[in-house]
Amino acid sequence: MDISELLAIAEHENALRRPIGIRCCTALGCQSAGALSLKQRLEEAVAEVDRTDIEVIGVGCMGLCGHGPLVQVDPHGVLYEHVRAADAPSIVAALDGGEATAPQGDPQHPFFTLQKRIVLENSGMIDPERIESYIAAGGYQALYHVLHDMTPAEVIDVVTRSGLRGRGGAGYPTGLKWATVAKSHGDRKYVVCNADEGDPGAFMDRSIIESDPHKVLEGMAIAAYAVGADQGYVYVRAEYPLAIQRLQRAIAQARRLGLLGAQIFDAGFTFRVDIRVGAGAFVCGEETALMASIEGRRGQPRPRPPYPAESGLWGRPTLINNVETFANIPPIIRNGAEWFAAIGAETSKGTKVFALTGKIRHTGLIEVPMGVTLRQIVEDMGGGVPEGRVKAVQTGGPSGGCIPAALLDTPVDYESLQRVGSIMGSGGMVVMDDATNMVDVAHFYMEFCKDESCGKCIPCRAGTAQMLHMLDLIRSGQATAADLAQLEQLCLMVKETSLCGLGQSAPNPVLSTMKYFREEYEALVRGERSEVRGQR
């Protein structure tokens, strides 16, 4: 494979396109709402009207998952929501001036217009099951460019200057991590893609893989070249069957075209990728537990240092990045570090994908520039809560915190979110209305953490069980003010003494709700329980 062959594939693919494209979302959310039978009916309907200028394309996530199944018709971008299979003939008929029976969506809604799509640039546009579709969108050209025109050090330099930070949650500078792995000595190095997304309400990584798997693979290959690795692993949870299937297909396709494997682009660069399927433990998203799991051992974290960059898989230098981080790489290489660094906020460059869920009108997947405010996301893009008012926004999953409505003007960047007691996290964003009891919310997350604690270190194993018990006492009105103080103490202890991030952050939902909604705890201690209360 060389560049002319790559461009020929793209050209051939583009030549196949027809003037009118009916894009039907086939990501998991829409699939579970019946998108596959819908797509089939659309194809039948097109065949029935016998028009060769129309094609039906199965694409990845279009974002507005709560209104699925979604169908969008090019070239004018007419959007249909809640489409049933029975609506298919009318959608095709509407191309000839008929009336579609499916409700029409508004592509000019802020939900779409306030987005900035870098990671999701191909999501909902290309067919994730065909590598040609990705190549036609410019895919694998960044990899070619890197292998032929850049040294590994130059690649790392671009990533460093772009200001990209890890999208898995902690926001570690990606370029610095790459440089560390590149400098570490080992007879072999590894690149690992962490797709063990486990936060309740988070589905960014799943969507990215389901919608554009090759982009992640291309990002991994570029990373492997930069750090000197020849083997990659995608660690993806078993609960994501469609993502696994599309990834398997993508790897096979890339290998067939010589875009993965030995002698990629005839540049003397070898990179193989294998999938490792996680067996359902949340803690395996923690990098040292993830590596133990890949090695075939019990998925438990170990103390760091040594960090994976120095001693990772089988004791060798290992680069671990999140799905979204890798997906940012090809656009950065393609457009340059300065382009990326010009997007977003001062210390947080680029965009962030969020899974917007909870009590909100428009649930789904969005990609916004860093620095937009929570209010813009929740009220403008999400359309606010259907009934009542926004009470809080939970970011960062069980490791994050609840941000009260009064702080909705907080910009979305790593530091600002941390300042208000939450974290960016991997991108889960759960909106709560004023019918939500915040102690119940804290209890929900604590129950999750208790169930997912691996049991290795005492503060997390016994501490989460004890914190959950105390929350039970509070909710059942059996707790005293002294118990509240004790719970707070215990939270601080677990936070400061736990071995890994799971335990260290498990108290966050309790601490942040205690900070901003303490009166709800105190009301329960006094024996009052009011489910609905007003905004602070």
Partner 1 sequence: MAARTFTINDQLISAREGETILQAAREHGISIPTLCHLDGVSSVGACRLCLVEIEGSRVLRPACVTPVVEEMIVRTDTERLREYRRMIIELLFAERNHVCAVCVANGHCELQDLAIAVGMDHVRFDYAFPRCDVDISHPLFGIDHNRCVLCTRCVRVCDEVEGVHTWDVAGRGADARVITDMRQPWGEARSCTSCGKCVLACPTGAIFRRGATVGEMERDRHKIAYIVAAREQRW
AA letter at 31? Q
Q: Please count the other Cβ atoms lying within 10 Å of the Cβ belonging to residue 526.
A: 11
Q: Contact between 419 and partner 1 (CB under 8 A)?
A: no
Contact code string over 495-514 relative to partner 1, x by CB under 8 A: -xxxx---------------
Among the residue ranges 2-10, 210-218, 391-399, 459-467, the one whose residues contact partner 1 (CB under 8 A)? 459-467
Tokens (6 digits) for 288: 């040292």
Integer angstrom CA distances of residue 182 from 176, 314, 316, 530: 10, 17, 12, 57
State whether residue 18 is helix, strand or coil: coil
Quick one: 251 or 292, whose CB is closer to partner 1?
292
Taking CB under 8 A as the criterion, the residue among 311, 453, 508, 512 binding partner 1 is: 453
Quick one: 40 or 466, whose CB is closer to partner 1?
466
State whether residue 356 is helix, strand or coil: strand
Among the residue ranges 208-216, 330-338, 395-403, 449-457, the one whose residues contact partner 1 (CB under 8 A)? 449-457
* In the complex, minimum distance from the CB of residue 108 to partner 1, in angstroms, rounded to a whole number: 47
Quick one: 101 or 466, whose CB is closer to partner 1?
466
Tokens (6 digits) for 501: 């991030």
Cα dihedral 189/193/199/201 (nearest 10): 170
Contact code string over 463-502 relative to partner 1, x by CB under 8 A: xxxx--x---x------------x--xx--x--xxxx---
Dist CA 251 CA 340 (whole Å): 27
Which residues are CB-neighbours of 245 under 8 A, at least 6 positions away?
none
How far apart, in Å, do the first and last CA atoms of the chain sit? 61
* In the complex, minimum distance from the CB of residue 311 to partner 1, in angstroms, rounded to a whole number: 13
Quick one: 284 or 372, whose CB is closer to partner 1?
284
* In the complex, minimum distance from the CB of residue 184 to partner 1, in angstroms, rounded to a whole number: 18
Taking CB under 8 A as the criterion, the residue among 98, 241, 455, 477 binding partner 1 is: 455
Quick one: 260 or 479, whose CB is closer to partner 1?
479
Taking CB under 8 A as the criterion, the residue among 21, 329, 461, 484 binding partner 1 is: 461
Q: What are phi and psi of 246, to 5 degrees?
A: -70, -35
Tokens (6 digits) for 311: 């001693």
Looking only at the bridges linking them, the beta strands covering 390-395 and 272-278 are unpaired
Question: 95-114: which residues touch partner 1 (CB under 8 A)?
Answer: none
Which residues are CB-neighbours of 535 under 8 A, at least 6 positions away?
389, 390, 391, 405, 406, 434
Quick one: 319 or 442, whose CB is closer to partner 1?
442
* In the complex, minimum distance from the CB of residue 449 to partner 1, in angstroms, rounded to a whole number: 9
* In the complex, minimum distance from the CB of residue 6 to partner 1, in angstroms, rounded to a whole number: 46
Quick one: 214 or 450, whose CB is closer to partner 1?
450
CB 391 within 8 A of CB 433: yes
Integer angstrom CA distances of residue 4 from 21, 259, 438: 27, 14, 59
* In the complex, minimum distance from the CB of residue 510 to partner 1, in angstroms, rounded to a whole number: 15
Question: 312-331: which residues touch partner 1 (CB under 8 A)?
Answer: none
Which residues are CB-neighbours of 136 under 8 A, at least 6 positions away?
9, 10, 13, 14, 126
Among the residue ranges 232-240, 352-360, 385-393, 451-459, the one whose residues contact partner 1 (CB under 8 A)? 451-459
Q: What are phi and psi of 508, to 5 degrees?
A: -55, -50
Number of residues that bind partner 1 (CB under 8 A): 31
Contact code string over 286-305 relative to partner 1, x by CB under 8 A: ------------x---xx--
Instruction: Give, as one character, the DSSP assignment of residue 377.
Output: I
Integer angstrom CA distances of residue 292 from 235, 305, 315, 370, 452: 11, 15, 11, 33, 16
Taking CB under 8 A as the criterion, the residue among 106, 266, 451, 519 binding partner 1 is: 451
Integer angstrom CA distances of residue 336 from 9, 174, 340, 404, 413: 25, 15, 7, 38, 22
* In the complex, minimum distance from the CB of residue 456 to partner 1, in angstroms, rounded to a whole number: 5
Q: Contact between 334 and partner 1 (CB under 8 A)?
A: no
AA letter at 169? G
Dist CA 157 CA 326 (whole Å): 16
* In the complex, minimum distance from the CB of residue 413 to partner 1, in angstroms, rounded to a whole number: 20
Quick one: 78 or 465, whose CB is closer to partner 1?
465
Q: Contact between 170 and partner 1 (CB under 8 A)?
A: no
* In the complex, minimum distance from the CB of residue 525 to partner 1, in angstroms, rounded to a whole number: 16
Contact code string over 245-264 relative to partner 1, x by CB under 8 A: --------------------
CB 464 within 8 A of CB 494: yes
Q: Contact between 281 and partner 1 (CB under 8 A)?
A: yes
Tokens (6 digits) for 309: 């960059």
AA letter at 512? S
Q: Contact between 450 and partner 1 (CB under 8 A)?
A: yes
Binding site for partner 1 (CB under 8 A): 281, 298, 302-303, 450-466, 469, 473, 486, 489-490, 493, 496-499
